[in-house]
Amino acid sequence: MKTGLYIHLPFCKQKCNYCDFASFAGRERFIPAYLDALAQEAARAPVPCVQTLYVGGGTPSLLSEAQIGQLCHLIARRFGPIAALQESTFEANPESLTPGKIACLRRAGFNRLSLGLQSFHDDELKRLGRVHDAQTFRRAYAAAREGGFENINVDLISGLPGQSLEQFADSLEQLLALQPEHLSVYGLQIEEGTPFFEQGIVCDQLLMRRMLEHTHRRLTGAGYHHYEISNFARPGKEALHNTHYWHNGEYLGLGSAAASYLGGVRRQNTPDVHEYIRRLQAGQDPTVFSEHLTGKVHEGETLLLQLRQLDGVELTPLQEELFGAEIQKHLQNGLLERDGKKVKLSFEGLFLANEVFCSFVAPFEEI
C-alpha cells in the first residue's frame, strides 16, 4: 500500500497576516533540538517505506545548509534515499532560498520545489506581511531553475485586501511568463486569531470569485490541467503527494502539529514546539489526538476528499447507499453533475464546494 511522508518545520522569519498554520517566528534557536527530536520520532515510526515526501511549514528554507543536510540525512537513514522516491517536495520562501540550499536539496535527491509567491505586487506583499518582494522571488525562481529543479510549484493568493481584478490578473500573467510546472491559486481566507481577523478585514467574495473564474479560463487556455479545486498543472506534473491525500491514502506525519493517517486511525502531534521536543527527549509519544474512522464517517471523508478533484469520483455501492440522498440534493441544486459513471463538482460547485462537502461530515443532516 502506498504511503506518503509529511515533515513539518514550524519555523518562520515572520508570521504572515493571514496565516493560521502551526508556525512560529523568532524561534530559530530551537531548530537543532527540533531536528534531533524529528530523528527520534522517525526512528520509532511504524512505516518502513514511503513513496512520496513533502517537507512543509512554516518555512523549511529558513534552515541553514548544514541543517538541511542533517534533515536529509535523517530522512534517508530511516526511509531510504530521497532520490528513489516518486516525488519529493520542499517548500521554500524566496528570501531564504539560496543557491547553496538549492544545491544541497538537489544533491539529496529532492525533485520538486514549492515556492510561496502570493503576489507580484510589492504593496500587496507588504500588506500580507511577506518578507520578500517581487524581485527577490524572481531571483529565487531563476536560481532554482539554474540549480536543476525542473518541477516547480508556485503559490498565488486571490482576493487580497484592496486588490483589483486587474492587479490579480497581472500577477497571474507575470507568473505564467515564467512557465512553472504547477500553480496553486487560493482564495484568501480570514481565519480567527490572525492579524487580518483582528483588523476586521472582510473578503469581497464576489470579486474573489471573478478572480478564480479568470484563473480557470486563463490557465486551462494556456494548457494547464485544472485537476483540483485550487491546483493547476502541466499534464503529467500533477502533485503526486497531494493527490494521494485526495484519494484518502495513508500518510505518516513527523514533527509538531503533523498528522498521520494509518490503518484507519488519524493521529496528530502536539502543536507546541517545546512540548514536542520535550516529549521526544523523554522518549514519549508526541501524539495528543487520535480517532479511528469507520463506517459512514470514513466513507464521508473519502467522498469529500475525492470530490476535490475535478475529474470526480465513481461512487461505490456503499457510498450510494450512505449518501445517495445528499448526492441527489446537490445534483438537483446544480453543485454536482454526472459525467458518465462519475459524479463531480459542477463549475458552480467549484466556488461553493464547502456547501457540498458539509453533507459528508458528521453530524450528518437528515434528508
For the stretch 23-49, pLDDT in tens is 777 889 999 999 999 999 999 998 879
Q: Give the bridge partners for 221, in sequence order.
A: none
Q: Give the pLDDT mean for 179-186.
A: 97
Name the pairing type of β-strands 259-262 and 265-269.
Answer: antiparallel
Is residue 288 very low, low, confident or very high in pLDDT (cuts 50, 70, 90)?
Answer: very high
Average pLDDT, the chain: 94
Question: What share of the chain in percent tops pLDDT 90?
Answer: 84
Model pLDDT, residue 17:
65
Is residue 187 very low, low, confident or very high in pLDDT (cuts 50, 70, 90)?
Answer: very high
Q: Give the pLDDT mean for 63-70.
A: 97
Can you tell me the distance from the alpha carbon of 262 to that of 260, in angstroms, rounded to the nearest whole number? Answer: 6
* Alpha-carbon distances of 78 from 38, 57, 81, 175, rounded to whole Å: 11, 21, 9, 37
Is residue 193 very low, low, confident or very high in pLDDT (cuts 50, 70, 90)?
Answer: confident
Q: Give every CB contact of residue 239 below 8 A, 6+ residues apart in sequence.
A: 87, 89, 112, 153, 182, 231, 233
Q: What are phi and psi of 196, to 5 degrees?
A: -60, -40
Model pLDDT, residue 26:
82
Query: Is 133's pLDDT higher than 70?
Result: yes
Q: Give the pLDDT mean for 278-289.
A: 97
Is residue 195 very low, low, confident or very high in pLDDT (cuts 50, 70, 90)?
Answer: confident
Query: Is 3's pLDDT higher than 80?
Result: yes
Query: Is 287's pLDDT higher than 70?
Result: yes
Q: Give the pLDDT mean for 280-307.
A: 95
Query: Is 367's pLDDT higher than 70?
Result: no
Nearest to 255 by CA among 47, 22, 79, 91: 22
The residue that leads in pLDDT, 286 or 132, is: 286
Q: Give the pLDDT mean for 320-348.
A: 94
Query: Is 340's pLDDT higher than 80?
Result: yes
Model pLDDT, residue 192:
84
pLDDT digits (tens, 9 = 90+) for 89-125: 999 999 999 999 999 999 999 999 999 999 999 999 9
Is residue 366 very low, low, confident or very high in pLDDT (cuts 50, 70, 90)?
Answer: low
Model pLDDT, residue 209:
94
Query: Is 21's pLDDT higher than 80?
Result: no
Q: Give the pLDDT mean for 65-72.
A: 97
Can you tell me the distance from the alpha carbon of 9 to that of 255, in angstroms, rounded to the nearest whole number? Answer: 7
Q: Give the pLDDT mean for 239-250.
A: 96
Can you tell me the distance from the alpha carbon of 253 to that of 4, in angstroms, rounded to the nearest whole number? Answer: 8
Query: Is 15's pLDDT higher than 90?
Result: no
Is residue 214 very low, low, confident or very high in pLDDT (cuts 50, 70, 90)?
Answer: very high
